[in-house]
Amino acid sequence: MDIVGARLLVVGATGGLGGLVAGLAADRGARVVPAGRDVGRLAAVARRVGSPFSQTFDAYDLDRCSALAGRAAEHLGGLDAVLVAIGAVAFGRVEDVPAEIEEHLMAVNALAPIAVLRGALRAVGGGGAVGAVTGIVVERPTASAGAYRASKAALSGWLETARLEQRGRAVGVLEARPPHLATGFAERAVAGVLPRLPAGSDPAPWAAAVLDGLFAGAELVRPDSGDGRTPRAGTAARAASARRPGRG
Ligand SMILES: NC(=O)c1ccc[n+]([C@@H]2O[C@H](COP(=O)([O-])OP(=O)(O)OC[C@H]3O[C@@H](n4cnc5c(N)ncnc54)[C@H](OP(=O)(O)O)[C@@H]3O)[C@@H](O)[C@H]2O)c1
């Protein structure tokens, strides 16, 4: 799919990664509608991408989440691609994380993205693409991130089924699994103590890889099995074989 003139909705454009994707897409000639929770940051992103139309929402309003793509399509006269880049994290051993924190992570990381994508699959035409950001944590259990991993794994499972179902319509379903990125996301954890983490990777190449992957119809963007930091696009099957013992 050609990005020039493409109509793209970025949900979570107020975030570090989503903002970079939205800005890059606009620079490359896409018509971008940003959606986010923070009103001030959303206005700044809308200015950055030159959109007179933007949408606020909260992850807990699932009806509004599922209506975002339809409203963007009304504004743009159709919709070619949707990316969901919202998320929240909390830390703590699995036996210590309170139920309300687990519920919050499930709402922000699974239920809201699923609601957005449900609406997106109705709004995006054949040959288009939808995608969401999970994280490499879905492949690798990380101590003190059990609730976060469970919520992202729920989204990952939904995406796999959606991908199967969309083959007949030629709608791409992308899952991006970045490693720890230097966006400040982990430092904004809603609960728990930030564990010792390696320095986050530069989010800019990840934003570019996610955007490229979305428009190329890739299934997965995940870290290269060599250095574990450089983004690499591919198919879900190829990624599974790259993870087999002895393959890195
Ligand atoms: N950074 C990392 O280390 C890392 C690693 C792997 C995967 N990821 C994933 O990458 C995605 C982007 O994260 P990021 O690094 O860009 O972090 P970020 O800058 O903190 O962005 C988080 C985004 O989620 C939105 N959000 C959070 N709670 C929300 C709620 N209740 N309702 C609506 N929106 C809500 C924020 O909206 P507002 O700003 O408008 O409040 C913001 O747009 C997330 O899915 C994250 O899980 C991040």
Instruction: Assess whether pLDDT exceeds 60 at residue 181.
Output: yes
128 lines ligand 1 (CB under 6 A): no
CA of 225 to the centre of ligand 1 (A): 25
The phi and psi torsions of 157 (rounded to 5 degrees) equal -65, -40
The predicted pLDDT at position 227 comes to 86
Could you report the per-residue pLDDT of 55-98, keeping only the tens digit for each?
999 999 999 999 999 999 999 999 999 999 999 999 999 999 99
CA–CA dist 142, 195 (Å, integer): 10
155 lines ligand 1 (CB under 6 A): no
181 lines ligand 1 (CB under 6 A): yes
CATH classification of the domain holding 14: 3.40.50.720
Could you report the per-residue pLDDT of 8-58, keeping only the tens digit for each?
999 999 999 999 999 999 999 999 999 999 999 999 999 999 999 999 999
41 lines ligand 1 (CB under 6 A): yes
206 lines ligand 1 (CB under 6 A): no
Q: Domains in the chain: how many in total?
A: 1
Q: 9: how many CB neighbours lie within 10 A of its CB?
A: 31
CA of 136 to the centre of ligand 1 (A): 15
What single DSSP character describes residue 107? I
pLDDT above 90 covers what percent of the chain? Answer: 91
CA of 80 to the centre of ligand 1 (A): 23
User: Does the residue 170 lie in any domain?
Assistant: yes
16 lines ligand 1 (CB under 6 A): yes
23 lines ligand 1 (CB under 6 A): no
What single DSSP character describes residue 20? H
Enclosing domain of residue 188: 7-242
CA of 167 to the centre of ligand 1 (A): 29
Closest-CA residue, ligand 1 atom 12, reads: 85
pTM for the full model? 0.96
Average pLDDT, the chain: 95
CA–CA dist 168, 143 (Å, integer): 39
User: Does the residue 223 lie in any domain?
Assistant: yes
User: Does the residue 131 lie in any domain?
Assistant: yes
User: Does the residue 247 lie in any domain?
Assistant: no
CA of 88 to the centre of ligand 1 (A): 6
Return the beta strands (E) in 69-192 as ranges: 81-84, 129-133, 172-176
User: How would DSSP label each residue in 202-213?
Assistant: PHHHHHHHHHHH
User: Does the residue 248 lie in any domain?
Assistant: no
CA of 191 to the centre of ligand 1 (A): 15
User: Does the residue 93 lie in any domain?
Assistant: yes
User: Does the residue 1 lie in any domain?
Assistant: no
